[in-house]
Amino acid sequence: MERERIMLKITWEKPFPACASISHYDLTIQLNEQQIFYKRYSVEETREKVLEDLDPYTKYTIILIAVNNAFYQSSAEPRYITTPELAPYDSLSLSIDFDTNCAYLTIQDPTQPNGIITKYQYTCYYANTEGGYQSILATDKQYVSLCEFRSAEKVKCSAKAINSAGESPVTSQTGYTKIAVTQRDKAELKHSKNKGKSFRITVHQVTLDNRKPDSYVFVVQKETSTSKRKKRSSVQLPPECDLDSNCYITAEIDSSLVDSEGYDFRVGDGKTYQDYYNAPLEPNQDYKIYQAVTVQMEDGFVLIEYYEDPITVFLNPICALGCIVAIAVTVFDLLVGVVLLVVLIKRRRRNFTNKTKQASTSANTGNAYQTLELTERSKQANDAVYATIPECSSDTAKNKTSYEEVDMTSIPTNKLQDYIKETISGSQRRY
C-alpha cells in the first residue's frame, strides 16, 4: 500500500515599489534545525515553491530573505509550519501473555504515528471456535487484560492505534491460554524412604475443565548439579532447568495408562517411555521431580503446564558388599541365638521331666521297701514258734501264742500294734 505524503506550497508577494532595488530572494527550509532545502530566486521568477514528499505532522522552519542591489538584506524572520496529520503508517508493537483465563496485552506506539494517538483498541477472541469476543477501547497506552476465556484454548488478539486522521494497520498475535491444573492431581511418592537407583511414585489421573490431557511428562533434576550448559528438548522444560545439563525429561506417559485408581511408575527403571530414556539414578543423592501435563491442540501445537512444587526425594545408598556381609553375620548370629535358646528350653524341660520321674520312682521304691520289710518280718515270724508281744513284761509261755493263729489279713503298718493287742486279748479270754 502506497503511503500518503504531504505537499507544501510556499508563495511570497511582489515587493513594494520603494523596494525596486531588490535583486533576488533566498529561500531556506529547515527540519530539526537542519537545512533540507535552499534556492535563490530572481525578482523575475515565480514567487512560489512547492515542496513534495514531506513527513506528516512534522514541524518545518521556513526562512525567506530579500537582497537588494547593494547586497543589503532583510531580517531573517523564520516561519514555522506543521504539516497535517495522516493515519499512522505502521502498526503497533504488540506482546501478549496468557494465563488459564486471561490475555494480557502490552503495546508500543507505531514508529511513525503521523500525529497524536488519541485511542487504542484491543480485541481478543477464540481462533478456532466461535465466541469469546472481548474488546476494549483505551485512551492511553496501557497494560490491558481481557479475560473470561476457557483454559487450553487458542486465542487471537489484535490492537490498533487511532489519531485524528485515521487508524493504524492492525497488528495481531495468536497464543494459547494455559492448562488449568490443580495441585491435588500431582503425583505422589509411593514410599517415604527410598534407596538404590530408582523409586516409585503414584501418578494420579488429571481432570481438566474442557479438555483431556494427552500425556504426563516427568523431569528429573539433580539438586547438587553445578553444570551450566544449555539444554535442548522438543518439550519445554521448567524454568528451574535453565542452563542445567543434569535436568532432563525422563519419561512421557500416555494418559490412557492412568485411570481413576492411579498408575504406579518407577523413576529410574532404565526403560524408554515415548523416546525418553528413564535413566537409573545415583544413590546417596537428592533429586527433584517436576511433573507436567500436555494437551495437543487442533493445529498440532502441544501445550505443556508444570505443577508448582516438585517432588523431592533422597535416595539412600544401596547396601555394599561389607553391608551384605554384616547383614549375613547378623542373621547367622540371630539363628545361632535362636537355636541355643531352643536347646536350652528343651534341656530345662528334660531336666524337669527327669526330676519328676525320680520323685515318682522314689515314692514307689519307699512303698516297696516297706512292703518288703513287712514281708521279711512275716517270714521271720513264720519261722518262729511264738511271736513276742511287746507289751508283755516277761517272756512266759502263757504270754506266747502260735503265729499261725494270727490272721494274715493285710494290715497297715501304723495299725499293726493295735491289731496284735486285740488278737492277744481275745486269746486270753478264751483261755
**pLDDT tens profile 82-120:** 999 999 999 999 999 999 999 999 999 999 999 999 999
Q: How far apart are CA 58 and CA 281, in angstroms?
A: 68
pLDDT of res. 407: 46
Q: How far apart are CA 158 and CA 160, in angstroms?
A: 7
Which of 224, 220, 243, 190 lies closest to 292, judged by CA? 220
Clarify whether residues 325 and 312 are in a common domain: no
Phi, psi torsion values for 397, nearest 5 degrees: -70, -35
Q: Which residues contact 153 (CB under 8 A, 6 or more apart)?
A: 126, 128, 129, 132, 176, 177, 210
Is 1 within the bounds of a domain?
Answer: no
| Amino acid identity, position 142 | Q
pLDDT of res. 13: 81
Is 339 within the bounds of a domain?
Answer: yes
Residue 413's SS3 state is: helix
| pLDDT top residue among 348 and 261 | 261
Is 144 within the bounds of a domain?
Answer: yes
pLDDT of res. 278: 95
Q: How many CB atoms lie within 10 A of CB 94?
A: 18
User: How large is the average pLDDT for residues 5-19?
Assistant: 79
Where does a domain end: 27, 62, 82?
82
Clarify whether residues 187 and 311 are in a common domain: yes
Q: What is the extent of the structural domain holding 408?
A: 384-431
Asked whether the predicted pLDDT for residue 404 surpasses 90, the reply is no
Asked whether the predicted pLDDT for residue 1 surpasses 60, the reply is no
Asked whether the predicted pLDDT for residue 390 surpasses 60, the reply is no
pLDDT of res. 273: 95
Q: How far apart are CA 304 and CA 301, in angstroms?
A: 10
Q: How far apart are CA 373 and CA 121, in angstroms?
A: 136
Is 102 within the bounds of a domain?
Answer: yes
Question: What is the largest distance, in Å, between two alpha-carbon atoms of the chain?
Answer: 216
Q: What is the pTM of this model?
A: 0.62
Clarify whether residues 231 and 300 are in a common domain: yes
b/e code 398-422 from CB counts within 10 Å (16+ = b):
eebbebeebeeeeeeeeeeeeebee
* Residues forming beta bridges with residue 59, ordered by sequence position: 82
| pLDDT top residue among 36 and 385 | 36
Is 427 within the bounds of a domain?
Answer: yes
Where does a domain end: 316, 337, 366?
316
Asked whether the predicted pLDDT for residue 176 surpasses 80, the reply is yes
- Which of 195-199, 288-292, 333-337 is the least confident region? 333-337
Clarify whether residues 236 and 208 are in a common domain: yes
pLDDT of res. 34: 93
User: How large is the average pLDDT for residues 325-343?
Assistant: 74
pLDDT of res. 110: 93
Predicted confidence (pLDDT) per residue in 214-264, tens digit: 999 999 998 764 443 444 455 677 876 765 678 899 999 999 999 999 999
Which of 68, 66, 65, 76 lies closest to 22, judged by CA? 68
Domains of the chain: total: 5
Clarify whether residues 76 and 136 are in a common domain: no
Clarify whether residues 65 and 104 are in a common domain: no
Alpha-carbon 297 to chain mean position: 24
User: How large is the average pLDDT for residues 303-321?
Assistant: 84
Clarify whether residues 208 and 191 are in a common domain: yes
Where does a domain end: 49, 82, 115?
82
| Amino acid identity, position 357 | K
196, three cell numbers: 538404590
DSSP label at residue 41: E
Q: Which band of pLDDT confidence, cut at 50, 70 and 90, is reported for residue 171? A: very high
Q: How far apart are CA 187 and CA 181, in angstroms?
A: 12
* Residues forming beta bridges with residue 356, ordered by sequence position: none
Which of 66, 81, 87 lies closest to 36, judged by CA? 81
Q: How far is CA 118 from CA 112, 159, 253, in A?
A: 14, 14, 53
179: left (phi over 0), alpha (psi -120 to 50) or beta: beta
Clarify whether residues 241 and 362 are in a common domain: no
Is 364 within the bounds of a domain?
Answer: yes
Is 88 within the bounds of a domain?
Answer: no
Clarify whether residues 139 and 199 are in a common domain: no
Clarify whether residues 337 and 360 are in a common domain: yes
Predicted confidence (pLDDT) per residue in 141-151, tens digit: 888 999 999 99
Instruction: Give the CATH number of the domain where residue 45 resides.
Output: 2.60.40.10
Clarify whether residues 199 and 249 are in a common domain: yes
Residue 283 CA neighbour count, 13 Å, CB half: 10
pLDDT of res. 165: 93
Asked whether the predicted pLDDT for residue 431 surpasses 80, the reply is no
Cell 540371630: give the residue: 334
Which of 108, 142, 109, 144 lies closest to 123, judged by CA? 144
Q: Are strands 285-296 and 272-273 parallel, antiparallel or unpaired?
A: unpaired
Highest-confidence range of 69-73, 312-316, 321-325, by mean pLDDT?
312-316
Clarify whether residues 196 and 306 are in a common domain: yes
* Residues forming beta bridges with residue 119, ordered by sequence position: 162
Phi, psi torsion values for 253, nearest 5 degrees: -105, 130
Here the contacts of 404-408 (C-beta below 8 Å, separation 24 or greater) are 406/381, 408/378
Is 264 within the bounds of a domain?
Answer: yes
